[in-house]
């Protein structure tokens, strides 16, 4: 039986996968060109990590070898190479005939190894070549500049020989694909990218239909059924990121085998997902955290956890570019792109990534919240074995924040105006609630329904669920909108009452009385209980 795999390029004979034939066909036609007997295509293929770029390119080369015998095809990974000569040597070794050693004269420079046989001299190529260079942007910038400059010169020479077929041209490099996470290779080169002749192909995430097809395949081979809600939730949490889809698929398959279950249910997904969020390592996620936690990217990531102001997505902004291409963030389209100049906003790549980052910052940078209450303090006004007063609990957090403000936020990251990032309060609230509840049979779970900063908290205690929507108070209009959003959140949880936690710098007693009044939503019937947390001492 096939299995799910998230460890490097998949084997289409051994692993569940999505054929992505449309993408393969697009790459193939781009490399062969409109007329394969003439000029081919020099392209870049790019996407954030773990999107399946390498597999798609290997599938494309397999198609060339099978359907286009008049062409040679070669795949070279250049990761770890440090000089132009090392690149030349690697390509020469890959395209040399089996058992042959490329001569020194054929390896003099990059252009020479693609040259047709001149005056009877030995050449490495005897047919037009389609070349794929994977991990290309891992090369040093000066090597990228030198290599693509050679490709440009080869391309220009071939364009001047339009009277010849591709097999008769001076250089037999018919098509080349440079594969990496950057869409504009040489972007860091101060003289500009010399490879301005390429088409840029982007590899998207899997659609929900594609994820469904993968699990239908699993059902056929395993004899187990998968509840539709499992697939829908998996796609939502990963947004179809191929590496994460396959990893969670692997965890679900293992869960089914261990329980000998005939059906994978929502409860199975919840158990697997909780382990993936809290306890299981994943190389891709660890790499994302490593990128997100270091300056100057950390400041932007913290800013993304704010619940009001959004960050415009600009590909040429270095921090946005870096975080996007390393799988931390994605662009999110504005509802009305005709009106707004900056139609794209930054959002986290998927809810799973956002949760892992939220957990990291909450329990690494802001794990220590000090003593939450005195040893002999009576907590029955807040929690007992059978009851929980969420409003009293949030009030305890506010008092704890006020009483310990000087050391609790002493080293907290601050914006340019020296105000503490809004995210810090979210992290400390989550840490406070987790610590308060952990030894009293309760749990708290963060949810991120939109990926753009909105945070919902679900508390479970004594068989009951409690919902908290967390916001920052900006003005009356936003407050009214937040009431409606919180009511809808309560409806989704099946609750008749939900809490709306609003962070604000200061608020007096009169305003508290006005704005903390319970509000019953006319459409949902859910009662929203607003409560303010004052952050200024």
Dump the DSSP string for 88-153. HHHHHHHHSPTT----GGGGSSTGGGGB---TT---S-SS-EEEEEETGGGS-HHHHHHHHHHHHH
Sign for the CA dihedral angle at 380, 383, 389, 391 comes to positive
Instruction: Report CA 110 to chain centroid distance, whole Å.
Output: 35
Write down the residue that tokens 């936020």 correspond to.
Answer: 409
Which distant-in-sequence residues (6+ apart) come within 8 Å of 136 by Cβ?
78, 144, 178, 179, 180, 185
What average pLDDT does this structure show over 248-256? 94
pLDDT above 70: residue 254: yes
Strand intervals (E) in 436-488: 442-447, 455-461, 464-472
pLDDT above 50: residue 441: yes
Categorize the per-residue pLDDT at 461 as very low, low, confident or very high, splitting at 50, 70 and 90. very high
Choose between 454 and 271: higher pLDDT.
271
Residue 511 has phi, psi (to 5 degrees) of -70, -35
What average pLDDT does this structure show over 401-415? 85
pLDDT above 50: residue 55: yes
pLDDT above 60: residue 98: no
Q: How many residues does the chain have?
A: 537
What average pLDDT does this structure show over 208-213? 96
pLDDT above 70: residue 521: yes
What average pLDDT does this structure show over 516-522? 95
Tell me 166's DSSP state. Answer: G
Angle (CA) 286-291-294 rounded to 5° is: 120
Q: Is 491 helix (H, G, I), strand (E, B) or coil?
A: helix
**pLDDT computed for residue 306 by the predictor:** 77
Q: Across-strand partners of 528?
A: 498, 519
Among 86-90, 333-337, 379-383, which is the least confidently predicted range? 333-337
Q: What is the pairing mode between strands 263-264 and 225-226?
A: parallel
How confident is the model over 151-168, as pLDDT tens digits? 989 998 998 998 899 999
What average pLDDT does this structure show over 370-382? 89
How confident is the model over 330-362, as pLDDT tens digits? 887 544 444 445 457 888 999 999 999 998 988
CB 427 within 8 A of CB 362: yes
Give the mean pLDDT of the chain.
Answer: 86
Dig out the tokens for 317 from the structure.
């902004």
Instruction: Report CA 474 to chain centroid distance, whole Å.
Output: 30
Neighbouring C-alpha atoms within 13 Å toward the C-beta of 226 = 25
| Maximal C-alpha separation, the chain | 96
What average pLDDT does this structure show over 286-315? 86
What average pLDDT does this structure show over 17-27? 93
pTM: 0.82
Choose between 214 and 11: higher pLDDT.
214
Dig out the tokens for 26 from the structure.
């697009």
pLDDT above 80: residue 150: yes
Percent of the chain with pLDDT over 90: 56
What average pLDDT does this structure show over 136-141? 88
**pLDDT computed for residue 337 by the predictor:** 43
**pLDDT computed for residue 338 by the predictor:** 42
pLDDT above 80: residue 8: no
In CATH, 21-202 is 3.40.50.10490: no
CA distances from 286 to 312, 326, 357 (A): 26, 11, 10
Dist. CA 122–CA 125, nearest whole Å: 9
CB 320 within 8 A of CB 326: no
Categorize the per-residue pLDDT at 307 as very low, low, confident or very high, splitting at 50, 70 and 90. low
CB 183 within 8 A of CB 195: no
**pLDDT computed for residue 313 by the predictor:** 86
Dist. CA 244–CA 6, nearest whole Å: 7
Nearest to 183 by CA among 76, 287, 357, 47: 47
Neighbours of 489 (CB within 10 A): 24
């Amino acid at each position: 039986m096939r299995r799910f795999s998230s460890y490097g390029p998949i084997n289409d004979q051994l692993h569940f996968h999505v054929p992505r034939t449309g993408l393969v066909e697009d790459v193939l036609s781009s490399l062969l060109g409109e007329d394969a007997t003439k000029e081919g295509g020099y392209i870049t293929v790019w996407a954030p990590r773990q999107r399946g770029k390498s597999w798609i390119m290997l599938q494309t080369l397999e198609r060339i070898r099978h359907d286009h015998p008049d062409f040679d095809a070669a795949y070279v990974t250049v990761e770890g190479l440090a000089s132009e000569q090392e690149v030349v040597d690697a390509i020469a070794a890959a395209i040399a005939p089996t058992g042959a050693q490329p001569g020194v004269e054929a390896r003099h420079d990059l252009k020479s190894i693609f040259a047709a046989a001149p005056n009877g001299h030995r050449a490495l190529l005897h047919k037009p070549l389609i070349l794929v260079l994977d991990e290309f942007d891992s090369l040093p910038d000066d090597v990228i500049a030198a290599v693509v400059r050679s490709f440009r010169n080869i391309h220009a020479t071939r364009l001047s020989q339009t009277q010849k077929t591709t097999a008769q041209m001076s250089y037999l490099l018919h098509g080349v694909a440079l594969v990496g996470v950057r869409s504009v290779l040489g972007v860091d080169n101060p003289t500009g990218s010399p490879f301005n002749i390429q088409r840029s192909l982007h590899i998207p995430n899997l659609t929900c239909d594609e994820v469904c097809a993968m699990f239908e395949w699993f059902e056929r081979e395993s004899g187990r059924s998968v509840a539709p809600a499992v697939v829908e939730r998996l796609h939502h949490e990963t947004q179809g990121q191929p590496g994460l889809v396959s990893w969670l698929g692997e965890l679900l398959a293992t869960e089914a085998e261990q329980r000998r279950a005939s059906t994978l249910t929502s409860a199975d997904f919840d158990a697997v997902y909780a382990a993936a969020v809290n306890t299981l390592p994943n190389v891709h996620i660890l790499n994302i955290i490593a990128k997100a936690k270091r300056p100057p990217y950390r400041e932007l990531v913290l800013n993304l956890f704010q619940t009001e102001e959004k960050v415009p997505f600009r590909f040429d902004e270095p921090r946005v570019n870096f975080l996007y291409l390393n799988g931390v963030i994605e662009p999110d389209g504005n509802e009305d792109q005709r009106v707004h100049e900056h139609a794209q906003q930054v959002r986290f790549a998927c809810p799973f990534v956002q949760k892992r980052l939220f957990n990291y910052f909450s329990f690494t940078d802001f794990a220590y919240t000090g003593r939450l209450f005195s040893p002999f303090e009576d907590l029955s006004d807040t929690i007992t074995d059978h009851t929980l007063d969420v409003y009293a609990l949030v009030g305890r957090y506010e008092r704890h924040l006020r009483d310990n403000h000087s050391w609790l936020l002493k080293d907290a990251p601050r914006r340019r105006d020296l105000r503490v990032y809004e995210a810090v309060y979210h992290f400390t609230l989550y840490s406070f609630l987790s610590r308060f509840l952990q030894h009293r049979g309760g749990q708290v779970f963060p949810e991120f329904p939109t990926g753009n900063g909105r945070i919902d908290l679900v508390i479970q205690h004594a068989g009951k669920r409690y919902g908290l929507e967390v916001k920052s108070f900006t003005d009356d209009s936003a407050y009214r909108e937040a009431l409606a959003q919180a009511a809808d959140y309560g409806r989704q949880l099946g609750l008749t009452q939900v809490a709306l936690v609003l962070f604000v710098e200061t608020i007096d007693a009169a305003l508290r009385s006005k704005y903390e009044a319970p509000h019953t939503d006319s459409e949902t019937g859910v009662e929203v209980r607003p409560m303010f947390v004052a952050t200024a001492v």
